[in-house]
Structure formats: structure tokens, C-alpha cells
């Protein structure tokens, strides 16, 4: 992983911002956040990944808010499907903060999926992968053993089709 450029958010800035959410990060995670932000800003000039262009606002609105979910829901050793990943939020920040988490980023836009694959490769995020598909393509989702729904009433059908999922708190997280 390359060393962050001088324009990159400082480690202190990242730690302070995450500290407001009571999230502690190690040096490797700080470097991953810095590098991810640099890649995002570079790619965002070519394809629209996020309307937020200010690095500090990206830190606060994307990383801090996404990583906060990991402090409120026990995700450490689970599996996560991020449907419609776009720029990788919340899936990749959750993977950074919970390295043991298995993450599948489901994105139908090939350019965005290519961006996600580059971030995963550059950050060395083992246990994260990109699935270029729409969530409705059930055969592909079943192959990855992950499913999700985003239409009204779909969550109810999802729970009925998978006994035990969602029966107790925090078994199924829909962001």
C-alpha cells in the first residue's frame, strides 16, 4: 500500500473524527482510510461515486457514520452483503473496522464494480469481494449464499424464506 500523499487527512484528524463516535483504529486502519479516500477522490473525477468532494466531509459522512454501525451491532465475525455498493459505503468501512467480517459488495454498474475491486486489491482486504449483479438476480446471490431485499414487503418474505434469520436482534442488518 503506497504512503499517503501530503494532501491526505492526517492520522490525528482521522482518530479525532472517529473518536467522536468512540471508535478506535490502529495505524494500519488509518492508512487504509487515507488510501481509500485518495482512491475515491481520484476515481470520482472520472465517474460519479459520491457527491461529497471534501476529504474531511468524506471522513465524517462516509467513514465515521458507517463505522459507527460496527460499534452498535456485533458484526465482527459475520457476513455482510452490501447491495448497491456504489462507492463501497457502508461495506468497505465496515470491513476496515472489522477485518474478520466477510463482505460481498453487490454492484450492477461495471465501472463502480471495477472501482470497488481496485480498492479491495489496493487495501489488501482479504475476505471482501465484488459481485457484479443486481440483487434480483437470485441465482447469483444464492451462489454467494447471501440475499437481501430493498422493496416494501420484501424483508417479510426474506425472513419467511429463511427460518431463524431475524428471529433475534442483530442477526440481519439492513442499512
What's the total number of domains in the chain? 1
Evaluate whether residue 38 is within a structural domain: yes
Q: What is residue 133's predicted lDDT score, i.e. its pLDDT? A: 81
Evaluate whether residue 1 is within a structural domain: no
Q: ∠ CA(104), CA(109), CA(115), 5° rounding?
A: 65
Q: Is 108 exposed, middle or buried (0-12, 13-18, 19+ CB in 10 A)?
A: middle
Q: What is residue 154's predicted lDDT score, i.e. its pLDDT? A: 44
Contacts of 16 (CB under 8 A, 6+ apart): none
Residue numbers in the chain where pLDDT is lower than 70: 1-7, 135-175
Decide: 64 and 21 in contact? Cβ < 8 Å.
yes
Decide: 37 and 58 in contact? Cβ < 8 Å.
yes
pTM given for the model = 0.75
For residue 42, give the CATH number of its domain: 3.40.50.150
Evaluate whether residue 170 is within a structural domain: no
Q: Which range of residues forms the domain containing residue 128?
A: 11-161
Residue 71: C-alpha distances to residues 2, 21, 68, 156 (Å): 29, 9, 5, 26
Evaluate whether residue 102 is within a structural domain: yes
As a whole number of angstroms, the distance between CA 18 and CA 122 comes to 22
Evaluate whether residue 107 is within a structural domain: yes
Q: What is residue 145's predicted lDDT score, i.e. its pLDDT? A: 53
Amino acid at each position: 500500500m503506497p504512503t499517503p500523499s501530503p494532501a491526505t487527512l492526517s492520522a490525528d484528524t482521522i482518530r479525532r473524527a472517529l473518536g467522536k463516535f468512540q471508535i478506535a483504529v490502529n495505524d494500519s486502519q488509518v492508512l487504509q482510510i487515507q488510501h481509500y479516500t485518495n482512491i475515491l477522490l481520484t476515481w470520482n473525477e472520472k465517474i460519479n461515486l459520491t457527491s461529497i468532494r471534501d476529504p474531511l466531509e468524506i471522513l465524517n459522512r462516509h467513514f465515521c457514520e458507517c463505522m459507527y454501525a460496527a460499534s452498535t451491532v456485533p458484526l465482527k465475525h459475520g457476513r455482510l452483503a452490501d447491495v448497491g455498493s456504489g462507492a463501497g459505503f457502508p461495506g468497505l468501512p465496515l470491513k476496515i473496522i472489522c477485518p474478520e467480517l466477510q463482505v460481498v459488495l453487490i454492484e450492477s454498474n461495471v465501472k463502480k464494480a471495477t472501482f470497488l475491486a481496485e480498492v479491495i486489491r489496493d487495501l489488501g482486504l482479504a475476505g471482501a469481494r465484488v459481485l457484479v449483479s443486481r440483487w434480483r438476480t437470485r441465482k447469483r446471490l444464492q451462489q454467494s449464499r447471501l440475499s437481501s431485499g430493498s422493496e416494501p414487503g420484501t424483508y417479510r418474505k426474506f425472513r419467511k424464506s429463511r427460518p431463524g434469520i431475524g428471529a433475534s436482534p442483530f442477526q440481519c442488518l439492513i442499512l
